A and B are shown apart, each in its own frame.
Chain A
Amino acid sequence: MEREVVEAEMVLPTELSFKRIQAYEKYPKGQARSRHWKHLKQILQAEREYQQLNPSDEPTYSSIESPPSLRPPKKICDITGFEAPYSDPRTKLHYANTEVFKQVRSLPNEHVQRYLALRNAQVVLR
């Protein structure tokens, strides 16, 4: 290992005296192990199942989620951020004026999709 790297101590040592079980013992190298963690979705699903069995008034991670807004959403030009009175039926992008429209029509499809992805409205191929 290079001197600067050693001096910066950026690499985590594999053996740490204050640990009872070292990481390499827990997660042996080169051994295919099944995924030992759950996604947040799975964790929350387990919580919901528990809630159904033991109904209680206690708040949970899912129950404190915010509701949708009551205010009418304003359309914003996807390209410029201006207020957008129009939307393009072909690309589904919102746009503010004719100049932006010209730009919208000249965008490659990949960019259109990326703009749409910004507000989670892209075309998803399954």
Chain B
Amino acid sequence: MPFISKTQRQTDYHLFPPSHPIVIDNGASYLRIGWAGETEPRVIFRNIVQRPRHKATGETVTIVGDHDPALLRYFDCTRSGPRSAFDSNVVYQFEIMEYILDFAFDRLGATGTQINHPILITECVCNPVQSRSKMAELLFETYGVPSIAFGVDAAFSYKYNQQLGICDKDGLALCPGFSTTHSIPFVGGEPVYKASCRTNVGGYHITDYLKQLLSLKYPYHMARFTWEKAEDLKMEHCYIAFDYATEVKLFQQGAKEADEKTRCWQLPWVPPVVEEPPSEEELARKAAIKERQGQRLRDMAEAKRTSKINELENELQGLEFLLQQLATVPEDDISSFLSTTGYVSKQEIEAAVSKVTQSLRKTRGEQIDAEEKPEASAAEKYPLLDIPDNMLTPEQVKEKKRQLFLKTTSEGRQRAKQKRFEEEIERERQNQQEEERRLENPDLYLEQLHVKHKELTERVEQRKRLKTNGNHSNGNNGTALGVGRGERLSAAQKERMRLLTTAAFDRGKGEDTFGARDEDWQLYKLMSKDNEDDDEGPDPEEAELFRISARLREIDPTFVPKSEVENAQPVIEVPKSRPMTQEDFQILLGVERFRCPEILFNPNRIGIHQVGLDEMPSVSIRRLPSDSQQIKEKLCCSILVTGGSSLFPGITERLEAGVRMTRPCGSTIKVVRASDPVLDAWRGASAYAASPHFATQTFSKQDMYQKGEDWLRGYQFTYSQ
């Protein structure tokens, strides 16, 4: 990782005299602060602020920069994410800026009652005056800074590299930064802002693009792709393809180079624990427990049965005794005798006896063929049925009704049984016939069967489709994308809706002939809600299909039912049906490695319709006020790329090729990378702030308030000494 925060508190603040300037490179991603004249900034941290709530005490605290994520566990960060003072590359939230500056000065070791040092702070090209004046106001009013100078980071970087001899006095700085990319031409050592241009694409967009692409490619691991992780992956693996089209072809064709270029990130993966089968003893123990419980239940049932048998036997004995007694009782005394027992007649007692014997036999587990018996004695069993109603008492009429009911149901059962039997015979006969046909000409028979099977499958499928989803005119079903209102109803449901609406609105038009034909009444059946999912049982076609496929399976070993073939396909694609393997926890970076930084060259890939990095020099040259051909050629001989996003390998080669396309044939083009694209801006600024010429560039609080905003608008740092 090239960007590392440095937040150690400095202890030598008091050693610097008040005239010694402090230099701040206020970049949208990182802030670097240090002393003028030094080669390294003292403090570097991410330019972000978090305001989480401390979990233990509940107070809202301010945390600036990036810290050990392990320490953030004491804070509740759910309600506020990291915030930046920047909108694009312009500072607009000065409350956040203040926290950031607090932290920066604090870590620089500032003491005393104010920051008594001149300050050189960077800003973007053509910073709006509102932002500039707010920044000056903040520094003057809150920190008591004596004087300030504003400069452009890319310009400092260019000048620094010019001093190192990497680029010329006339040239072009291309600065892909965090949120924007600038192209600034330099003529005679001074930046020409009028001819500069800015495309709103930078490292932020690349990281975000990578993050989004990966989380879409691996939705299962979405939580893994944090901003910091994406940033790390970008810095470690992304590169710029010399020619996107050829590079991507490699991957599309699955060439060997592509495999070599693919990076694999193995996420921590623990193989799922295979459950051991329970041991023999365990099984035996469980079986024993089950057996014991079963035995207990059986015992209980047995005891219950014996007690019931006893009870019934007693009752039976009682009844038999009663009958015996009844036989001895004279005819006249029967009714008086019976009234004491609670029975009305002898028949009743007999009925009770037969009932008790039956239930006794049942409990003893003897076979009762009650079904067979009544056939023979229908007349006996239903004695009341043949007697007309008027000859019976009301109770007997009731009894007659009961008997009638019993008779009809038993007859129905009988008929159903008969029918089943006949069907069985019929099927048997059919099978026999088919078998005969098959034996006559096996091939023809098989072929016929196949044809019939195919026809039936199609018909059944067709009906199923119609049932589930009405309109299949476009031929693609399945994907439920963009389901409109109409598509949700099946064909049958739609037809029902149509009928209902016509019924509701067609009233009173012309002569009402509804009901003249019998078919008209069918309408209500169609309209009824039950029609929706008609469960008419297995319909004959499906049954026939089932029969044929069973038969086919029997005689044709190669036969596979169509429904199974169709079902087999998607099962393979559904990853859930198989256990997760190590491969599922691998994040492959292939095309993404150069697809993401490619947006620097083609911002329209992410919907930003502006020129890319390689076209920017020509735009700058076009905007140049002077028409001198010589200058234009000179600019292209010294193109310096700087800024955090110029660290991608291959950027200079690609740029050279890209710029060559926009320039006349044969012109010399030289693209160089800054010595340190990240820190050069601060180093350049530090060198400037240390020069005696710096004091003429600063302005104080009085200057600002006396000269007013218009003056501040026109304020410009001069870079050449």
Contact = CB atoms under 8 A, between A and B. Distances in A.
A1 B57 CA distance: 8
Contact of B481 (A83, A91, A96): A91
A29 B409 CA distance: 87
B548 to A, nearest CB: 33
Contact of A37 (B95, B142, B196): B95
Interface stretch (B125-133, B314-322, B411-419, B429-437): B125-133
Contacts, number: 194
A68 B611 contact: yes
B479 A12 contact: no
B591 interface: yes
B252 A111 contact: no
A74 to B, nearest CB: 7
Contacts of B94: 36-37
B714 A58 contact: yes
A23 B497 CA distance: 67
Contact of A5 (B71, B125, B252, B592): B71
Interface stretch (B304-312, B464-472, B612-620): B612-620
B606 A43 contact: no
Interface in B65-86: 67-68, 71, 74
A35 to B, nearest CB: 10
Given A18-B143, A20-B141, A69-B610, A10 B245 contact: no
Contacts of A10: 63, 67, 71
B714 A20 contact: no
A13 B59 CA distance: 13
A62 to B, nearest CB: 9
Interface of B is mostly: mixed
B619 A16 contact: no
A104 B604 CA distance: 21
Query: Which range holds the interface residue count of chain A?
Result: 35 or more
Interface in B595-621: 595, 602-612, 615-616, 619
A105 B479 contact: yes
A66 to B, nearest CB: 4
Contact of B619 (A12, A40, A66, A82): A66
B112 A4 contact: no
B219 interface: yes
Contact of A120 (B128, B607, B714): B607
A9 B194 contact: no
B99 interface: yes
Pick from A16, A44, A69, A115 the residue with the most CB of B within 10 Å.
A69
Interface in B130-145: 130-131, 141-144
Given A12-B61, A82-B248, A66 B611 contact: yes
Contact of B199 (A60, A66, A91, A121): A66
B611 A18 contact: no
A118 B103 contact: no
A68 B610 contact: yes
A83 B245 contact: yes
Interface string A94-108: 001000000001110
Interface of A: 1-2, 4-5, 8-13, 16-21, 23, 26-27, 36-40, 43-44, 46-47, 57-61, 63-71, 73-74, 76, 80-83, 90-91, 96, 105-107, 109, 111-112, 114-115, 117-121
